[in-house]
A and B are shown apart, each in its own frame.
Chain A
């Protein structure tokens, strides 16, 4: 059985499919009047967030509580980290309290992998620097599956935006490849990795060129600081060339799905009207996030009994 979830690459095709099926089961649980099961009663889950993230933290903590875990929340602002304690000392102290899983969010790539090398508890990567965000990719795949059915083979997905700095893109490209979808990365050259060897995706700098062929369009958040690093001229130029404006949205196929991991910069990478339009799955993504995280926690921590 899997111990940690550090990368989407930790899952083979079968494990990924099972996890998504389990997520759909949990989605039904969350739709019940009392959306809680005793599946992981007595298990202790720590959320260790070294980087602000309201939505991911709440999503994980909600998932853990719906599985009846005890949840300890460790935020950097109120901890001894501010007194200069190093990552290793912090996690070893937490581990000594007797815990089952740590959900780690960190601004540095590989921090969850380092934590996993130091302690015995299960480690879940909740986003590490620009490396990966595997539960985001899982919830995105679940969202696509619920919109298009379980067979995603051959689905054409475009990912637009700041690929080079995106942990969401790194996990999603791996996940889409595993389910047989065809991914196109769409970005200015300055927002793509210099070397793309090993990325199982095609690349274009021209959004308009591929727009009409896409089954799903995934927009990444554009950080305003990219301008200061000279990766971009002014943001209005980005919107004009790579933003999903109302005009561009009109050129999509009628059933093309629009997704965004949030938080959105309305008016930069996506027009407000499009974000709230009928093609948008952005709200479903958030809902599915809780179910996916329940499935991950359950897979890592349960002794194998069936879900209630």
Chain B
């Protein structure tokens, strides 16, 4: 467990939380916020002048690779990257080796997470071995605290299996079935978005309909079963429209979008550099615009990174042979500020809702995304929304280097991160 320490005052910042905005100092001690006001004092001072003080960011979608692929990332390195990105909670996806379909695996992930610089929650598998056939022990995993169930990386493509999962999950409080919506019958064998670029490059496509048909089907299944469905990494205009309609009909559906789906298009694949390979793939300009519109009008509930580290040699293959996925934890906040709040797509408060309190609600994380007020858990992110910096792949805390943003100039950077009252990032440096 993290050691106890004295009180800390975050001084001179502007507090933005679900209740509104105000200039205030924030004192935290013993894991909680103890006072919010002016001219406050404490044992330690964290300067927040020019900074936003917000509830810690929550990432619904990260791959930490432990157990099984510790050469790409570990829970420790991934959690450090998360803390540096301003996150105080992440949900580790279950496609480890072995996967999160056994309570013992999940218990071990949670134990490692408890020693790290960020809260690590585990998503459980929907089906055994993520094979899409037999239900995983959802109830046993729920007992360990698992609330999100997904076969991410794989789609639960069988409608009958999805129906039973949604039905069964109704017996588990706050449980949600999270779908990687890409029908393998349409997407398998494809490596990039099916469109003008795949046509030019001769790379087999993963068409947008692979996503939208599954999203449409699962909205119907959620309505019929009364179960809750969450769509991971929504990437197409058609799927955003379907989710918007489903919400209007009152169906229990939520959705997330990844920064790469609102900042990059399939045109990047013309370099043949597999750093741009990801599932679902980078899409067209029209899809990017639709994802932004979905973030702006509330259709999409969360920005989630789909942080997917790979050892360098895995990405030094030809595009069609390289695995899909890209890093996200250390660039998500800056991309949101640079591409959404500065251009006026979203207000800063709405952006923070998408990065903190709305995803916390999706995942049922009671200690995150809370108002910054006395008595609340002290999970906080302090960031400079105007600081310009250049992404250097070799200076990331993640073990892997597969960021598509290397060399890009971004605005906005984490200054301090506070986890349960303890500063885990101070002045942009991780504490151990």
Chain A contacts to B: CB under 8 angstroms: 86-88, 106-111, 113-114, 117, 128-132, 164-167, 170, 193-199
B203 contacts A87, C-beta separation under 8 Å: no
Among A106, A107, A110, A194, the residue within 8 A (CB) of B201 is A110
Q: How far is the CB of A128 from chain B (nearest CB, A)?
A: 8
Smallest CB gap from B313: residue in A: A86
A132 contacts B318, C-beta separation under 8 Å: no
Q: Which residues of A contact B204 (CB under 8 A)?
A: 130
A199 contacts B199, C-beta separation under 8 Å: yes
6 inter-chain pairs at a CB distance below 8 angstroms, sorted by A residue, are A107-B320, A109-B203, A111-B318, A129-B320, A195-B196, A197-B196
How far is it, in angstroms, between the C-alpha of A193 and the C-alpha of B196 when the chains are bound? 9
**Do A129 and B207 contact each other (CB < 8 Å), given the known contacts A108-B319, A108-B321?**
no
Q: How far is the CB of A18 from chain B (nearest CB, A)?
A: 25
B395 close to A (CB within 8 Å): no
Q: Which residues of A contact B205 (CB under 8 A)?
A: 194
Among B194, B199, B202, the residue within 8 A (CB) of A132 is B202
The number of inter-chain residue pairs (CB within 8 angstroms) is 75
Interface magnitude class on chain B? 20 to 34
Q: Which residues of A contact B427 (CB under 8 A)?
A: none
B318 contacts A131, C-beta separation under 8 Å: no
Q: Which residues of B contact A117 (CB under 8 A)?
A: 273
B199 contacts A195, C-beta separation under 8 Å: yes
A108 contacts B194, C-beta separation under 8 Å: no
B202 contacts A87, C-beta separation under 8 Å: no
Q: Which residues of B contact A107 (CB under 8 A)?
A: 320
Query: Can you add 18 more A-B contacts, CB < 8 Å, to A114-B319, A117-B273?
Result: A87-B316, A87-B317, A87-B318, A106-B318, A108-B317, A109-B203, A109-B272, A110-B201, A110-B318, A111-B272, A114-B318, A129-B203, A130-B204, A132-B202, A170-B202, A193-B199, A194-B195, A198-B199
B200 close to A (CB within 8 Å): yes
B183-228 at interface with A (beta carbon < 8 Å): 194-196, 198-205, 207
Interface SS, A side:
loop
Chain B contacts to A: CB under 8 angstroms: 194-196, 198-205, 207, 271-273, 313, 316-321
A130 contacts B316, C-beta separation under 8 Å: no
Shortest beta-carbon contacts, A-B, top 10? A110-B272, A108-B318, A130-B202, A193-B199, A131-B202, A111-B318, A108-B320, A197-B196, A88-B316, A113-B272
Q: Which residues of B contact A166 (CB under 8 A)?
A: 202
How far is it, in angstroms, between the C-alpha of A65 and the C-alpha of B195 when the chains are bound? 42
Q: How far is the CB of A134 from chain B (nearest CB, A)?
A: 13
Smallest CB gap from B284: residue in A: A195
**Do A167 and B202 contact each other (CB < 8 Å), given the known contacts A194-B194, A195-B194, A197-B196?**
yes
How far is it, in angstroms, between the C-alpha of A132 and the C-alpha of B272 when the chains are bound? 13
A131 contacts B203, C-beta separation under 8 Å: yes
B207 contacts A194, C-beta separation under 8 Å: yes
How far is it, in angstroms, between the C-alpha of A110 and the C-alpha of B320 when the chains are bound? 9
How far is it, in angstroms, between the C-alpha of A167 and the C-alpha of B201 when the chains are bound? 9
Q: How far is the CB of B177 from chain A (nearest CB, A)?
A: 31
